[in-house]
Structure 1
Amino acid sequence: MNYEEAVEWIHARLRLGIKPGLTRMEWMLEKLGSPEKKIKTVHVGGTNGKGSTVTYLRNVLQAAGYNVGTFTSPYFEKFNERISINGIPVSDEEIVELVEIIRPLAEELEQTEWGGPSEFEVITIMSLYYFAEIRPVDLVIYEVGLGGRLDSTNVITPLVSVITSIGYDHMQFLGDTLAEIAYEKAGIIKKNIPVITAVKQLEALNVMERKAATQNSKLFMLGRDFQIEHLASLETGESFYYSFKKQQDEFVISMIGKHQVENASLALTTIALLNANKEFIIKKEAIINGLKKANWPGRMERLSTEPLVFLDGAHNPESVTALVETVNSRFQNEKVHILFAALKDKKVENMLEQLENVALSIAFTSFDFPRAATAKELYETSTHSNKKLVEDWYHYILELLPSLKEDDVLIITGSLYFLSTIKPELIELLEK
Structure 2
Amino acid sequence: MCGILAFFVKRSLLYEFRASADNLFRCNSLCVFQCNFSNMRKNYESAVEKLNYLQSNISALKDNEKTAAKGLPATSLKNVKIYLKRIGITQDQLDSQLSVIHVSGTKGKGSTCAYCESLLRHCGYKTGFYSSPHLVAVRERIRINGQPMSESDFAVYFWDVYKTLEANRDESSSMPFYFSFLTVMAIKVFLAEKVDVAIIEVGIGGENDATNMFRHTPVVGISSLGLDHMKLLGDTVEKIAWQKAGIMKKGSISITAHNQPPSALKVLYERANEKQCKLFEAPPFEKYEWSHKLGDLNLSGTIHEINASLGLQLAYAWLAKCKKRGSLDIIGRSFKLETDFFSGIKDCFWPGRQQIITRRNGDFRYYIDGAHTIESMNECSNWFNGQVKGTNVNFLLQNKDMVELDKC
TM-score with structure 2 setting the length: 0.73
> Residues 108-158 of structure 1: CA distance to partner in whole angstroms, max 9, x if unpaired?
557337x4321111000001011112x111111001111111111111232
Question: Which of the numbers 173, 196, 207 marks the counterpart of 1:149?
Answer: 207
* Contact 2:370–2:380 (Cα < 8 Å) also in 1: no
Q: Which runs of 5+ in 2 are unaligned?
A: 1-41, 65-72, 327-336
- Name the structure 2 match of 1:169: 228
1:271 maps to 2:315: yes
RMSD: 3.0
Moved over 6 A (4+): 247-250
Once the two structures are TM-superposed, the CA of residue 30 in structure 1 deviates from its matched residue by: 2.4
Q: Map 1:8-157 to 2 at 5 A.
A: 8-15=49-56, 17-18=60-61, 20-21=73-74, 22-31=77-86, 32-34=88-90, 35-37=93-95, 38-104=97-163, 106-107=165-166, 111-112=171-172, 115-133=174-192, 135-156=193-214, 157=216
* Contact 2:384–2:395 (Cα < 8 Å) also in 1: no
Residues 280 and 121 of structure 1: CA distance in aligned 2, closer, same or farther (over 3 Å): farther
- Name the structure 1 match of 2:401: 352
Question: Which of the numbers 261, 270, 279 marks the counterpart of 1:201?
Answer: 261
Residues 249 and 153 of structure 1: CA distance in aligned 2, closer, same or farther (over 3 Å): farther
Once the two structures are TM-superposed, the CA of residue 70 in structure 1 deviates from its matched residue by: 0.5
Q: Partners of 2:383 and 2:320 in 1: how far apart?
A: 34
Q: Partners of 2:213 and 2:293 in 1: how far apart?
A: 36
Q: Map 1:174-253 to 2 at 5 A.
A: 174-198=233-257, 199-222=259-282, 226-229=283-286, 241-242=287-288, 251-252=294-295, 253=297
- Name the structure 2 match of 1:315: 372
Q: Partners of 1:64 and 1:101 in 2: how far apart?
A: 32
Q: Tell me the number of residue pairs that the alignment of Structure 1 and Structure 2 aligns.
A: 332
Rg bigger for which structure?
Answer: 2
* Contact 1:320–1:355 (Cα < 8 Å) also in 2: no
- Name the structure 2 match of 1:287: 341
> Residues 64-98 of structure 1: CA distance to partner in whole angstroms, max 9, x if unpaired?
11111100111122111111112211122222222
Letter in 1 for 2:302: K
Q: Partners of 2:159 and 2:316 in 1: how far apart?
A: 39
Letter in 1 for 2:338: K
Q: Partners of 1:80 and 1:105 in 2: how far apart?
A: 20
SS of the residue corresponding to residue 55 of structure 2 reads helix
- Percent identity reads 31
Letter in 2 for 1:33: I
SS of the residue corresponding to residue 191 of structure 1 reads coil
SS of the residue corresponding to residue 17 of structure 1 reads helix
Residues 178 and 111 of structure 1: CA distance in aligned 2, closer, same or farther (over 3 Å): farther
| Larger strand percent | 1
| Larger helix percent | 2
Residues 109 and 171 of structure 1: CA distance in aligned 2, closer, same or farther (over 3 Å): farther
Once the two structures are TM-superposed, the CA of residue 320 in structure 1 deviates from its matched residue by: 0.8
* Contact 1:242–1:251 (Cα < 8 Å) also in 2: no
SS of the residue corresponding to residue 152 of structure 1 reads coil
Letter in 1 for 2:357: L
- Name the structure 2 match of 1:325: 382
